[in-house]
Structure 1
Amino acid sequence: MDDVLVIGGTRFIGRHTVAEFRDADYDVTMFNRGTRENPFADDESVTHFEGNRRDRATLEAASDAVDPDVVVDCVAYFPADVRAATDIFADADAYVYVSSGAAYGEERVPKREDDTALEPCSEEQATTDSAETYGPRKAEGDRAVFAAAEAGVRAMSVRPTVVYGPHDYTERFAYWVDRVDVADRIAVPGDGLSLWQMAYVEDVASALRIVAENGAAGEAYNVGDEHAPMLGQWIDLLAETCEAGVETVGATARDLARNGLEPQDFPMYRSSPHVLETAKLRALGWSSTPQRLALQRTVAEHRENERTGRQFGPDRETEIALLDDLTE
């Protein structure tokens, strides 16, 4: 497998996926609309094919022009996207769909690829672009992968849990990096006991390559850090990385309610544990980056950009009022 087509490729997971395959000596082509800055514009080893992935004719043109051995689909947000891609690239050696841990439809610890039920997806959900339908749409995309594999396509799915790392445009994790890096005291919901396993973005990219090379058709592979700290432990790790002497103050749901807040107002808070079993992926030779190293890279890039994530959590004035209430 020498030629890889990455559908997406400029922002976050796609950007790291391009770098992963390039560094593994693949010839890489990115397929996207060209509406965002291309981080590989000066890299002669990465080619750009411009087009809208939802336009079948353009996707077919990319297939004819590149004739890829591997297709990594980073921006398939609707089941129809997956069905079209697995049809157009049916002859590729590997089609790898970036799904999500949100595809799981029951709360189990851990969630396993072959045991944990997926979200159902109605016809209306399959075409509705909203946060509420994201998990169902990803689950239906998984089912499209499985159907393609049954028809003879070497199609596979990779399910990351929530992803962090350099160039994270979602800014969910950036909220906590910013708070730890600039504030002397911060509020932590649920006394820091929220457990939401995360996945370092470079590990997601390596998982996509390893599954393309060694995965089995019709299989799904979870990806997440092999150690899953709770939110309070993540903040401790960030404080160590940032060399910050921040004081953390735990806040229960009742504490927050007195100040007009609830735990879900804080990024990365989850009321029930979300942990994915990664043994299936590790059996292919994958391993995760040590979290201290992952955080060093994340913080270094964070300090170079203007993303703070502040818009995704309580404003500082409200947080200070909460902190004063908790420490009186």
Structure 2
Amino acid sequence: MTHTEIDALVRQFLVDTATRGTPHPRVQQVVTRLTADLFKAIEDLDLTADEVWRGIEYFAEAGATHELGLLAAGLGLERFLDIRADAADTRAGLTGATPRTIEGPLYVAGAPESIGFARLDEAGADGGAEGEVLFMQGSVRGTDGTPLAGARVEVWHANQLGNYSFFDKTQPAFHLRRTIITDSNGRYQFRSTMPMGYGCPPAGTTQRLLDLLARHGRRPAHIHFFVSAPGHRKLTTQINIDGDAFLWDDFAFASRDGLVPAVRRIDDPARMDRHGVDRPFASIDFDFRLHRDMAGAPAAEVARQRAAA
């Protein structure tokens, strides 16, 4: 069939049959377009019925095993949405803030809150495995440099095995997850353990597809953030740990210039004492800069289902 014939067929299937009331115009528009594009791909690629049903079964399995969010990252869909959001910001004249990057599928709402400082790691939560102690600190500011007191810094990252609490039931629900409210100077700090890079589940649906595409499923070590403040646009971002072998080869395409801060190793006994540790530790300085709210600007938040403990 020609593309014109397919468009007519899809209209017959999905538009002409709308006889039981008024269809939702946006839903009808999107479903009609995506169905037509799918039919055209089947025709152009000469997909067999076996291949089509295998694809349907694949997506059913990916949904049942909760890997659709992982697949969206691995196919570049989540990064593509960020590219479009960056372009929309630029058209609106929004420049100078910390770069956004993907949220990923592993945020959990409701993490404990504290002012100025939080300790993310909980005693014994990783089965006695002692990772490198990490202190990360900085400020939240507007793009004009003004410190933002009372800003919310939501932070979450993986443990030493590359697993996230809540989803990994061997960990307490909020291990390596906290919300820090900046102090009167817009400052935040947290103590944690240095996160590790990790890969897709080796037998999972995402990695099976990546194998067929001759791609790896590895992510560099990273730390996720939501940063928000009254009168400012919410930022979704993450920092990657400098020196990781996959720093610029992230299967999720989330590494960006401006999000790879230096990691300093501190072995000075006086500084170790001031930080309450008995061994050398890693330190990262990073400031977040937020856009002010602006009438008519594109949305800064994404409405999507998220876990809550």
TM-score by structure 2 length?
0.23
Does 1 or 2 have the higher relative contact order (CA < 8 Å, sep 6+)? 2
More strand by share: 2
More helix by share: 1
Structure number with larger C-alpha Rg: 2
